[in-house]
Each structure stands twice: as structure tokens, then as C-alpha cells.
């Protein structure tokens, strides 16, 4: 309500009752104005009777609305905060005015597009044209198909203007290349966000009162946080927010509906590509008469045709999981991390698409005071390898990351021996010089926790105690004396290499992790510890994997950490699991010896259990974009 723009509304099925109530309210308003020595401009005071076309046509007389014995004039349309509301709510008048404004703006863009840079042209569109499509589209979005098509044609025209395309260029492809959503999808996004606000107390109460939660008699997984959908008796009611808002909310995936934070709700994105993760820039560059949308969609012309590289969204989940499982089989972790990746503020996840099919993806995180980019997930479909897709993903991943985090100066990544050659070739193709900064051996065992007896071992290996998060930060990360335990000041947990600095503590240590330290320093002692280890359960398709990294110089302490990490895993696990240790190659045989006396701890890979993990770094400070 504004002081000079006040609305009174009343809903009823009886015209006489509506007339009586409005006149009574107007009398109260007049008395209040008199008491406060204010006057009302009757020339701008009007009323409108709203209803379906059929209902309005059956009326034999119009209501008489008066204020201070002056009759209020009736109108069939009125403007409220920039939206033209008509008496049938078909939004014809509003769309007509909207199309004129948008067409005028697009015409201006077309006249100046040859005179300004493409990036400036796009910014002008975002500032002067796009807001007309977005403003209050939840209100007028229920207009008929004919009116919606008129607006969609204008968006298509804008896409052709911004891309210097011919009038007959395929609009769907242009929208996809620009990273734009069509208007119908865009309105669904805005409506879903408004539904979240309504249901979480972030919108006026009268909107929340239009919805009721479903109380299912059956314990169905997908019934959580669903709404009762009112039964529409007319098409007029089908266009109402109370009906299509509830229908849209129920169609969202369960984990999206269960989100508690509005920011997280947007970051997780909507299924079926309702949302995409927004970037910070909307720059368009033209290279060889083709356009590239940074931060939303990159085009890369590779050996076997066009491949689009863009930011991942929740709608990619099924295809990415299918691709990842095909490569990793039972040891795939992607299904259990993908949505968390999308929600994390310091992560970039990108996919490569060919003919609408996902053929590759990478995941990157930003750590070390936002100075390092860690490549910690990468997959390319076996049928599309040796086509430059991997290099393109990494190239555009670097560009996207440095666009969003300008302080990133290095790329760091971990490899196992089976991927060493392929990944390094992809890095070298980008004219990056990398160097090996660490090398680990890793052992993998299958463990039956209920059958493991630690009694005879703990007598010899009892100098290890758990370490709290605060103590770990103080005794390890803040302690210069511990840097001798790991080369180049890098420590690894679950294949993720971090610089051993306090700012990384939240990324290094999660709630369920197990951090152990030897008693020489103690968790609360004053001496520098001689060893420590990091353990974590990781969910795989085949079950659970306990991954532990051992940092020690003393051989006995190394074996003690292995035994205590295994014991921590057995205390947590309810069934069989995989157990891996990562350590300096000089300690591997001692780790194997510590585990050889446990009959229920069996080495994987038919006894050939030793594999290599390499940590490499590449300097990005002087790297510049170049075509592959």
C-alpha cells in the first residue's frame, strides 16, 4: 500500500453484497481522511469489477459505488505499480503495452549493434529489455498462449539481434547458445522461488494461507513437503496461483523441496533445467563469426564436430551419473556428491555436451585462500576420447574459475597411475607446465569389521590418540614444525590436496572425520607431534570406503596410525567396507606388515595392492586463453 496508490478489494459471489461491503469500507476511509485532514482525488478514484468473461456477461446491472455521495467511475482496466490489470484478467492490455516497449528496445539495439562492442550490447539488453520480460511475470504469466507466443517471438528476435543472426535462424539454438531460458521456463523459475518464499514465511501471510500441506496416510519417500492441490472446476481457476503454484511445487524433486535456505534453493538448481548456476559475468565475445557465452555456455569446435561446454545443473544428474558409473563401475562416488558440488560456493562443475548428450564433465574447487584451483573430478565418455574434450573442459574450467575467483594462481590435481599419461597430455596441450610435488603409495583392503580383533595389536601400537578440530588446527596447521612431515606444505585427504594452512580447516576436516596424533605432542601438549593421520568414510556404489592418509617419519608410529585408523573405521562401520591407506612409498611395506596378521582384512587386486597417487601443480599466473 502506498499513500497515493491504495487498493481496496472484496471477493464475493453476490453483487449486492460486494457493493454493500465496498461502500461501507469507503465510508470508513472517508472518515479516516477527514479525521487526519486529508483529501481524496476523486478524479483518480475508480473501481473495477473482476470476473470471468461468462460471469461478467450475465450481469444485468453494474454496482453503484459511492464515496461522500460522489459516485466512483467504473473502468475495465487500470494500472497498478506498472502492471495493467483488466476486468477479465486475460492480460491483453498489459501484453500489448509490454510488446511495444520491448520491440522499441530491440529496435534500438539493432540500430547500434554495429557501433559498440558485443559485451556492451549484451549489457544494454540486460538493463533495458530483459527487465520487461521479468517484471511481475508471476502475475501476468497466466495469459493465454497467443499472448505468450507474442512475447516469445520478441525474445527470439532479441537473440537474433545480439548474435547478428538472420531472421530465419533457429531461435531454440540461439537461446541455448546464449544461455537464455525461454519465457515459459523463466516464469516457472520465478514462480518456484515465490512458492519457496510463501511456504517459508518470506512472503505476505495471505499468500501462505492459500496453501495447505498434504497429510499422506502412506509413508512414501516422495510425499515429503508436498501440498494439497485444489480441484479446479474451470479453466479460469487453473490459471490461479493457488492451483498452478501448488502443482509446480509438487513437481520439484524431493531434495529441492526439503531445502531450508533460499540461497541454497537457488544454488541447487531445479530439476529438468529449471535453474542453472549463475556466473558473475555475462560477457559475449565473437571469435571467427561464432559467439561464446562466458560463464554459462562455451562452444568448442573439436575434431568430431561441435561440443558445447557449460556449467552443470541439477538436471544433468542422471546423465552424469550414467557416464561416471560406466567408467568407475562399483567405485563411483559422483552420485553422492554431485548435488553438494552444485551447492558449494567455492566449486565449479562443468559438462561437455554433444548433440544434447553429456559426454564429459569436470569438478574443481578453490582453496588455499582462493589462490589454488583443485581439479578433483574428471570423466570423458570412452567413445568420445582423443577428441580434445578433456583439454577443452580443463581450459574452460580454468577460465570460469579465474573469472569468478581472480586470485587463483595455480592448478593442482591428483592422479593415479592409470590416468597419469592421459591427464598430463591434456594439461600439456594447454601449454601449461606442471610439476610433481608429491607421490603416495596407496593400499586397498576389504574389511569385515565384526571379525577384526585388535587386542593383540594394541599392546604394541598404543601411542595414538584422537585430535579435535581446534587442536588439529593449532598443533598441525599453525605449527611450522610439522611441515617436515609432508613435502611442499601439502596434505591430502580423500585424494584432495590442500596447502597446510589454517584457512583450509573447514575444507580439510568434516564432522565425521577421524584425525589422530601421537602422544609425543599430545592433543593438548606443548611439543610438536611426530606424526598424524587423517581418516574419512566415503560413499561408493559398492559400499563404504575408509580412506586414510598417514604422515610419519618413525616406522613404528606409521604402523600405529594404520592400526588406529582401521580401528576407527571398524567402530563406525556396521558392515563390510573397503579400507585404503595413503603414505610415502618408503612406508608402504611397514603399513602392509601392520595389517598382515588380520585374517578378515584382505588385500584387493589379488595381492597386487600397491598403486600410486601423484600430486601435480601448474602455474596459472602467466596463462592466457588460446584456441586448442
Cβ(316)–Cβ(334) below 8 Å: no
Sort strands 410-416 and 372-380 into parallel, antiparallel or unpaired: parallel
Cβ(530)–Cβ(521) below 8 Å: yes
| Confidence band, pLDDT 50/70/90 cuts, at residue 274 | very low
Cβ(582)–Cβ(445) below 8 Å: no
Closest CA to 410 of 615, 612, 584: 615
Lowest mean pLDDT among 40-54, 210-224, 233-247, 333-347: 210-224
Which residues make beta-bridge pairs with 2? 5
Taking only the tens place, the pLDDT of each residue in 404-420 is: 899 999 999 998 877 77
Give mean pLDDT, residues 322-342.
Answer: 83
Task: Write the CB contacts of 15 (distance below 8 Å, at least 6 apart in sequence).
Answer: 59, 61, 63
Q: Which helix (H) or strand (E) holds 466?
A: strand 464-466
| Confidence band, pLDDT 50/70/90 cuts, at residue 277 | very low
Taking only the tens place, the pLDDT of each residue in 88-114 is: 888 888 999 999 999 999 999 999 888
* CA dist., res. 590 & res. 323, Å (int): 38
* CA dist., res. 31 & res. 28, Å (int): 5
Residue 93: other Cβ atoms inside 10 A: 15
Domain ranges across the chain = 15-75, 92-180, 186-272, 308-408, 439-613
**pLDDT exceeds 50 at position 288:** no
pLDDT, mean over the chain: 81
pLDDT for 162 equals 86
494-519 in b/e form (b: 16+ CB < 10 A) is: bbbbbbbbeebbebbbeeebbbbbbb
**pLDDT exceeds 60 at position 477:** yes
Residue 563: other Cβ atoms inside 10 A: 20
The single residue listed with the C-alpha cell 567402530 is 571
| Confidence band, pLDDT 50/70/90 cuts, at residue 618 | very high
| Confidence band, pLDDT 50/70/90 cuts, at residue 584 | very high
364 three-state secondary structure: strand
Q: Which three cell numbers stand for residue 426?
A: 591434456
pLDDT for 365 equals 94
What is the value of pTM for the model shown?
Answer: 0.53
Task: Write the CB contacts of 249 (distance below 8 Å, at least 6 apart in sequence).
Answer: 192, 195, 199, 226, 227, 257
State the greatest distance between any 2 C-alpha atoms of the chain, in Å, as a whole number: 101
Q: Which three cell numbers stand for residue 620?
A: 596459472
329 three-state secondary structure: helix
User: HSE (CB half, 13 Å, CA atoms) of 178?
Assistant: 25
Sort strands 73-74 and 46-47 into parallel, antiparallel or unpaired: parallel
| Confidence band, pLDDT 50/70/90 cuts, at residue 524 | low
| Confidence band, pLDDT 50/70/90 cuts, at residue 192 | confident
Give mean pLDDT, residues 119-131.
Answer: 87
Task: Look up the CATH superfamily of 439-613.
Answer: Gcn5-related N-acetyltransferase (GNAT) (3.40.630.30)
* CA dist., res. 148 & res. 137, Å (int): 11
| Confidence band, pLDDT 50/70/90 cuts, at residue 487 | confident
**pLDDT exceeds 60 at position 172:** yes
Using a pLDDT cut of 70, give the percent of the chain over it: 87
**pLDDT exceeds 70 at position 312:** yes
270 three-state secondary structure: coil
| Confidence band, pLDDT 50/70/90 cuts, at residue 152 | very high
pLDDT for 125 equals 92
Domains 308-408 and 439-613 share a fold: yes
**pLDDT exceeds 80 at position 519:** no
**pLDDT exceeds 60 at position 231:** yes
DSSP 115-182: TS-HHHHHHHHHHHTHHHHHTTHHHHTT--HHHHHHHHHHHHHHHHHHTT--TTS-HHHHHHHHTPPP
Q: Of how many residues is the chain composed?
A: 628
Query: CATH code for 308-408?
Result: 3.40.630.30
Q: In this predicted model, which residue has the larger pLDDT, 223 or 480?
A: 480
| Confidence band, pLDDT 50/70/90 cuts, at residue 15 | confident
Amino acid at each position: 500500500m502506498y499513500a497515493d496508490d491504495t487498493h481496496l478489494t472484496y471477493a464475493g459471489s453476490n453483487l449486492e453484497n460486494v457493493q454493500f461491503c465496498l461502500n461501507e469500507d469507503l465510508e470508513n476511509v472517508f472518515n479516516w481522511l477527514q479525521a487526519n485532514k486529508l483529501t481524496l482525488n476523486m478524479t483518480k478514484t475508480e473501481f473495477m469489477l473482476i470476473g470471468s468473461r461468462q460471469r461478467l456477461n450475465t450481469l444485468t446491472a453494474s454496482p453503484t459505488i459511492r464515496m461522500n455521495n460522489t459516485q466512483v467511475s467504473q473502468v475495465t482496466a487500470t494500472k497498478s505499480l506498472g502492471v495493467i490489470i483488466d476486468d477479465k484478467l486475460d492480460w491483453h492490455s498489459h501484453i500489448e503495452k509490454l510488446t511495444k516497449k520491448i520491440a522499441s528496445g530491440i529496435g534500438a539495439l539493432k540500430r547500434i549493434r554495429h557501433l559498440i562492442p558485443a559485451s556492451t550490447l549484451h549489457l544494454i539488453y540486460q538493463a533495458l529489455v530483459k527487465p520487461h520480460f521479468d517484471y511481475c511475470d508471476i502475475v501476468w504469466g497466466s495469459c493465454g498462449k497467443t499472448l505468450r507466443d507474442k512475447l516469445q517471438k520478441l525474445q527470439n528476435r532479441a537473440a537474433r539481434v545480439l548474435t547478428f543472426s538472420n531472421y530465419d535462424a533457429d531461435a531454440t539454438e540461439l537461446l541455448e547458445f546464449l544461455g537464455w531460458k525461454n519465457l515459459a521456463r523463466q516464469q516457472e523459475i520465478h514462480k518456484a522461488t515465490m512458492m519457496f518464499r510463501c511456504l517459508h514465511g518470506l512472503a505476505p501471510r495471505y499468500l501462505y494461507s492459500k496453501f495447505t500441506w498434504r497429510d499422506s496416510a502412506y509413508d512414501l519417500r516422495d510425499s515429503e513437503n508436498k501440498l494439497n492441490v485444489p480441484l479446479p472446476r474451470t479453466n479460469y481457476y487453473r490459471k490461479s496461483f493457488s492451483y498452478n503454484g501448488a502443482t509446480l511445487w509438487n513437481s520439484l524433486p524431493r531434495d529441492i523441496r526439503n531445502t531450508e535456505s533460499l540461497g541454497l534453493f537457488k544454488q541447487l538448481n531445479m530439476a529438468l533445467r529449471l535453474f542453472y548456476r549463475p556466473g558473475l559475468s555475462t560477457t559475449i565475445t565473437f571469435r571467427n563469426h561464432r559467439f561464446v557465452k562466458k560463464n554459462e555456455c562455451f562452444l568448442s569446435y573439436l575434431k568430431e564436430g561441435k561440443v558445447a561446454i557449460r556449467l552443470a545443473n541439477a538436471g544433468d544428474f542422471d546423465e552424469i551419473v550414467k557416464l561416471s558409473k560406466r567408467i568407475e563401475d562399483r567405485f563411483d562416488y559422483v552420485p553422492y556428491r554431485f548435488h553438494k558440488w552444485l551447492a558449494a560456493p567455492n566449486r565449479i562443475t562443468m559438462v561437455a555436451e554433444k548433440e544434447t548428450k553429456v559426454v564429459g564433465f569436470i569438478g574443481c574447487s578453490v582453496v588455499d585462500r582462493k589462490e589454488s584451483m583443485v581439479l578433483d573430478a574428471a570423466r570423458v565418455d570412452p567413445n568420445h576420447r582423443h577428441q580434445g574434450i578433456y583439454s577443452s573442459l580443463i581450459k574452460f574450467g580454468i577460465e570460469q574459475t579465474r573469472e569468478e575467483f581472480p586470485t587463483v594462481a595455480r592448478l593442482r590435481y591428483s592422479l593415479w597411475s592409470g590416468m597419469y599419461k592421459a591427464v598430463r597430455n591434456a594439461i600439456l596441450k594447454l601449454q601449461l607446465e606442471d610439476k610433481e610435488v608429491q607421490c603416495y603409495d596407496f593400499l586397498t583392503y576389504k574389511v569385515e569389521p565384526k571379525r577384526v580383533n585388535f587386542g593383540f595389536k594394541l599392546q604394541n601400537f598404543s601411542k595414538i590418540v584422537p585430535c579435535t578440530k581446534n587442536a588439529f588446527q593449532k598443533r598441525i596447521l599453525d605449527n611450522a614444525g610439522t611441515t617436515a612431515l609432508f613435502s611442499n606444505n601439502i596434505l591430502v585427504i580423500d585424494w584432495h590436496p590442500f596447502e597446510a594452512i589454517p584457512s583450509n580447516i573447514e575444507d580439510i576436516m568434516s564432522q565425521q572425520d577421524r584425525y589422530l596424533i601421537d602422544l609425543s605432542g599430545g592433543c593438548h601438549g606443548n611439543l610438536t607431534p611426530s606424526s598424524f593421520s587423517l581418516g574419512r568414510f566415503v560413499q561408493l556404489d559398492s559400499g563404504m570406503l575408509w580412506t586414510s592418509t598417514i604422515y610419519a617419519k618413525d616406522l613404528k608410529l606409521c604402523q600405529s596410525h594404520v592400526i588406529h585408523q582401521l580401528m576407527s573405521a571398524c567402530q563406525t562401520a556396521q558392515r563390510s567396507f573397503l579400507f585404503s591407506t595413503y603414505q610415502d612409498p618408503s612406508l608402504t611395506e611397514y603399513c602392509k606388515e601392520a595389517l598382515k596378521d588380520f585374517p578378515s582384512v584382505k588385500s584387493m587386486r589379488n595381492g597386487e595392492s600397491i598403486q600410486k597417487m601423484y600430486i601435480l601443480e601448474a602455474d596459472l599466473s602467466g596463462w592466457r586463453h588460446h584456441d586448442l
